[in-house]
Amino acid sequence: MVLVYINGCEQAANGKSVVDVIDEMNIDIRTIAVELNEEIVSKADYDKTTLKDGDVLEVVSFVGGG
């Protein structure tokens, strides 16, 4: 069982990549920034980055206004 923390919530992520997580969240890839264990994940690497046990993933989905 691969357990990871996604935006602070512990969940199973067997074999999931960053892009799988984003797809499940139903968010626009153009409006997000993703950090894995406090390091930015380049958009080009979303599909290549598979989550490992204990990973901490932060998916920031920006909203408009400024």
- Residues in touch with another protein (CB under 8 A): 28, 30-33, 35, 38-40, 42-43, 58, 60-66
DSSP per residue, 39-54: EEPPGGGTTT-B--TT
Nearer to another protein, 12 or 29 (CB): 29
CB nearer another protein, residue 50 or residue 61: 61
* H or E element that contains 19: helix 18-25
3: nearest Cα among 41, 61, 51: 51
Least distance to another protein, CB of residue 1, Å = 26
Q: How many residues belong to the chain?
A: 66
Q: In the bound complex, what is the minimum distance in angstroms from residue 9's beta carbon to another protein?
A: 15
